[in-house]
Amino acid sequence: MKDLIWKKDGKGESADPAIMAFLAGEDVELDKELLLFDIRASAAHVKGLQQIDILSVEECTKLLDGLLQIEKDVQDGALELSSHFEDGHSAIESWLTEMLGEVGGKIHTGRSRNDQVAVALRLFMKDRLSQLQDICAQCARVLLSRVETEGDLPMAGYTHLQSAMPSSVGLWLAGHAEAFIDNAELAALIRNWLDASPLGTASGFGVNLNLPRQAVAQELGFSRLVVNPQYAQNSRGKVELQALSALSACTLDLRRLAWDLSLFTTHEFGFVKLPSQYCTGSSIMPNKNNPDTVELLRAVHAVVQGAQAELASVLGLPSGYQRDLQATKPPLLRAFGKGLQALRLLPDLLAGFEWQTERMRQSITPEMLATDLATDMARKGIPFREAYKAATAMCEEISGDAVAQSLANRLSPGGCGQLEIGLLEARLGALEN
Ligand code: ARG
């Protein structure tokens, strides 16, 4: 461990390694993911200090150059955050001081690690929520483009996992597309909601300097300030929880989609063939070809839900900074790491699987037309309950044409005959711009 930045005279008991290791926890590892955001925020803070003449123009330039160099060295691997440092925040100051001498020690004027970590985390969440929005939009785009080419293919529709009515590939694809459009919008909404800078609130009580907080926030791309210093700390964990809820909506839909695909690839359904790179063989059963990728995609929601529960249980705290807040970082970073890694695989998977059209057609049996028949009779004036009773007996062998007709007649908005792709396209287009 380097000299702790808060040690004043180098005297007294040196830190107990076991206690220091416990305090740091996984923090140093986790701070690696936050480091570049921390460096960016540090540069904005330096500019703010120069604006109010705490730093001379020359000192400001030196510190900014130093931070740029650190950023480069971190990216190249020349500098590595290791357990020599208490955390990422201290590392930046230590590296600057090593590189520039005394002026390095000026960077921490008017800030605390409390607002430093809070601002890095908000930048991190903004970045990850933007990625989430993009990936969800990409998934929706792939699904909608397949509606255009394959939307009319018939397939059985199920409720209770029992055959229900003739349905179409288009309805299934557009259903999942709408989910991902909702999720992209949710990610954008939550990103905007947490788009506020806590930097300049220091340890939670403000600073006896006229910090240009607004200008610094703008420099960092924030749209507003977390105004109150106490709330800057009290909102820690609370905003993380909402960021996770946006992720969780996506992984929940991912789970259902993966479930459908894993069912559809079974011998019993036989609706879908996955590209071979998503499947594995068995170590003992030579005949097996298992959809492992899809199954592990389905498992990701468990990681996110676990993270939500863990994070929520840290938050039983009084006002102000408490070191417990450090424990909100692992679930946040773990869930976004796993969640985005999984979701990134989805657009290609969705573009790559093949429909087994013959099996899908065979899955539609005559009695599945009973609901359409009953509704037809009702349209002609027969009370629906009477038509309902008569319909099943009237179902005969069906031709491909009858199925196509059934789908084409399903003209209620959103139904197989009128999927209203235009409405989905309009929402997706707005997200992509
Ligand atoms: N690792 C700490 C956290 O995540 C950084 C802030 C430390 N602040 C303090 N006053 N010890 O909360």
Evaluate whether 335 touches 303 at the Cβ level (below 8 Å). Answer: yes
Is residue 325 lining ligand 1, measured as CB closer than 6 Å? Answer: yes
CA of 49 to the centre of ligand 1 (A): 22
**3-state class (DSSP) for residue 290:** strand
84 noted as active-site residue: no
Is residue 114 lining ligand 1, measured as CB closer than 6 Å? Answer: yes
Beta bridge partners of 166: 156
Q: Which of 160, 267, 283, 399 is catalytic?
A: 160
Distances (CA, A) of 421 to 98, 139, 174, 186: 59, 15, 7, 20
What is the DSSP track for 74-94? HHHTSS---TTSS-HHHHHHH
Tell me the C-alpha distance between 282 and 286, whole Å: 6
Residue 398's pLDDT is what?
77
As to burial, measured by CB atoms within 10 angstroms (0-12 exposed, 13-18 middle, 19+ buried), residue 341 is: exposed
Evaluate whether 139 touches 253 at the Cβ level (below 8 Å). Answer: no
Residue 3's pLDDT is what?
66
The residue contributing the CA closest to ligand 1 atom 11 is 323
Angle at alpha carbon of residue 351, lines to 279 and 301, rounded to 5°? 60
Residue 282's pLDDT is what?
85
Domains in the chain with CATH codes = 17-109 (1.10.275.10), 117-199+227-362 (1.20.200.10), 366-432 (no CATH)
Tell me the C-alpha distance between 145 and 2, whole Å: 55
Residue 12's pLDDT is what?
57
**3-state class (DSSP) for residue 158:** strand
Please count the CA atoms within 13 angstroms of the CA of 112 that sit on its side-chain side: 16
Q: What is the dihedral of CA 354, 358, 364, 366, to 10 degrees?
A: 170
- The tens place of each residue's pLDDT in the chain, 433 residues long, gives 566 777 776 655 667 888 888 887 788 889 999 999 999 999 999 999 999 999 999 999 999 999 999 999 999 999 999 877 889 999 999 999 999 999 999 999 999 999 999 999 999 999 999 999 999 999 999 999 999 999 999 999 999 999 999 999 999 999 999 999 999 999 999 999 999 999 999 999 999 999 999 999 999 999 999 999 999 999 999 999 999 999 999 999 999 999 999 999 999 999 999 999 998 888 888 888 899 999 999 999 999 999 999 999 999 999 999 999 999 999 999 999 999 999 999 999 999 999 999 999 999 999 999 999 999 999 999 999 999 999 888 877 777 788 999 999 999 999 999 999 999 999 999 999 8
Is residue 124 lining ligand 1, measured as CB closer than 6 Å? Answer: no
Tell me the C-alpha distance between 107 and 43, whole Å: 9
The residue contributing the CA closest to ligand 1 atom 3 is 326
Q: Which residues contact 162 (CB under 8 A, 6 or more apart)?
A: none
CA of 116 to the centre of ligand 1 (A): 9
The phi and psi torsions of 171 (rounded to 5 degrees) equal -65, -40
For ligand 1, mutation pick of 314, 324, 326, 332 (most atoms within 8 Å of CB): 326
Instruction: Name the helix (H) or strand (E) containing 355.
Output: strand 354-355
Look at the alpha carbons of 181, 182, 184, 188 in this order and tell me if their dihedral is positive or negative. Answer: positive
CA of 18 to the centre of ligand 1 (A): 18
Residue 338's pLDDT is what?
98
Amino acid type, 44: A
Residue 399's pLDDT is what?
79
CA of 64 to the centre of ligand 1 (A): 24
Q: Which of 82, 83, 130, 282 is catalytic?
A: 282
- Smallest CA-to-CA distance from 125 within 329, 341, 343 is with 329
Is residue 87 lining ligand 1, measured as CB closer than 6 Å? Answer: yes
Beta bridge partners of 165: 157
Q: Which residues contact 284 (CB under 8 A, 6 or more apart)?
A: none
User: What is the C-alpha end-to-end distance of the chain, expressed in Å?
Assistant: 47
| Helices 329-352, 113-150: crossing angle, 10 deg rounding | 20
Please count the CA atoms within 13 angstroms of the CA of 276 that sit on its side-chain side: 2
Residue 22's pLDDT is what?
85
For ligand 1, mutation pick of 27, 83, 113 (most atoms within 8 Å of CB): 113
Instruction: Name the helix (H) or strand (E) containing 377.
Output: helix 370-379
Residue 10's pLDDT is what?
61
Amino acid type, 75: Q
CA of 386 to the centre of ligand 1 (A): 70
